[in-house]
Amino acid sequence: MAGIYVYSDKKEFVPELISLAVAAGKPAFVITYSQETAREIIGYGAEKIYVLKGESVLAENYAKATAEFLQSEAADLFVVGATPRGRDIAARVAGYLDCAMVSDITTIKCTGEVIETERSIYGGAVVQTEILDGFSVVTIPAGKFEATAFRATSGSTDEIETISVKADTRVSVVSRVPISKDGVNLKDAEKVVCIGLGMDKEEDIQMARELARIIGAEIACTRGIAEENHWLPVSSVIGISGAVIKAKLYLGMGVSGQIQHVYGIREAKIIVAVDSNKNAPIFKAADYGIVGDMYEIVPLLTAALK
């Protein structure tokens, strides 16, 4: 049936995707490949939760079946949570159905039959607006939509409908090793202290940790610190290939402010920069800045806040 079909391999993501559909004024349908997941997302406002049941444990193997299903239902739009798995499935569906797909959208507008999307390109420097023709697929990163918890009493397992499908069998899973999250969750951090390549040596991170401890902030870094210097894990990276933060306060020290990093801090309430180069791009992206030697400034700042 026509409407907006949503999918995410992360069930906590699904409610906000449903909200997107509801906000667009269209009926929302959820697609999942697991009975369990289906039961956990009833009552969030979806008209129906379709469980496409097959033999494979690998979600990506359901791409073709999903495409065929969407086609048979004459769906209007397929919205997928942007995760590595989500993007893979979404693109395959788009390939099977020969339709438009926009990845990592920042906004979407559905007026009648017309779908208009916005996304960032060129490392975050440019915003591109597109109009999509006919049935389309979009992926959207988490956190763009407030999940309106419907949790109404009318939520019931009647929402769930199970459909048997044939999963692709050509790719099999040998093993899965969960990545240990070091407990750093930058996406939810209220305050962030970030170090950049302006820092001289690894031991100096201690200075940043001191400040972070005093103000109750998480430690983060730019891509170079993690991928070139290996001073911090990749999960600490803020930027277009890392975390996007929504903190109240971001303080960068020795961060030059390259556009790919700034992409990750744009939604912070207040951005503060400390750097020795007065021409560093970070100052154009900051609310407050001090041009100076961070080895002088940061300890003074820490002391002032004790």
Partner 1 sequence: MSKIVVCYKWVVDEADIRIDVSSVDTTKARRKISDYDRNAIEAGVQAASSVNGKAVGLTFGTSAARQSIKDALSRGLEEGFYVNAEEAATADGTVTAKALAAAVNKINDVKMVICAEGASDTFARQTAPRIGAILDWPVITSVCKMEFSGNKLTAVRKMDDCQETVTAELPLVVAVLPEINAAPIPGLRAVMAAGKKTVTEFKSEELKIDFAPKARITGLKGYVMSRKNIVFDEGDAGEKVSQLVTALKKEGVL
Site for partner 1 in 110-139 (CB under 8 A): 116, 120-134, 136
CB of 19 to partner 1, least distance (A): 22
CB of 60 to partner 1, least distance (A): 7
| Interacting residues with partner 1 between 10 and 29 (CB under 8 A) | none
Contact 151, 43 (CB under 8 A): yes
CB of 267 to partner 1, least distance (A): 11
Distances (CA, A) of 94 to 90, 174, 285: 6, 27, 36
Distance in angstroms between the alpha carbons of the first and the last residue of the chain: 60
CB of 247 to partner 1, least distance (A): 9
Please say which residue, 197 or 215, places its beta carbon nearer to partner 1.
215
Tokens of 290: 């001090």
Please say which residue, 2 or 121, places its beta carbon nearer to partner 1.
121
Q: Considering only CA atoms, which of 297, 294, 184, 302 is closest in space to residue 238?
A: 184
Please say which residue, 168 or 204, places its beta carbon nearer to partner 1.
168
Measured distance CA(32)–CA(181) in Å, rounded: 25
Q: Considering only CA atoms, which of 270, 260, 269 is closest in space to residue 237?
A: 260
Residue 304 engages partner 1 in binding (rule: CB under 8 A): yes
Residue 266 engages partner 1 in binding (rule: CB under 8 A): yes
Total of chain residues touching partner 1, rule CB under 8 A:
83
Question: Which H or E run includes 139?
Answer: strand 136-140
Q: What single-letter DSSP state applies at residue 113?
A: T
Measured distance CA(152)–CA(143) in Å, rounded: 22
| Interacting residues with partner 1 between 58 and 117 (CB under 8 A) | 58, 60, 63-64, 67, 83-85, 87-96, 98-104, 116
Residue 267 engages partner 1 in binding (rule: CB under 8 A): no
Stretch that binds partner 1, among 13-21, 24-32, 56-64, 202-210 (CB under 8 A): 56-64
| Interacting residues with partner 1 between 209 and 248 (CB under 8 A) | 215, 240, 248
Parallel, antiparallel, or unpaired: how do β-strands 126-132 and 136-140 relate?
A: unpaired
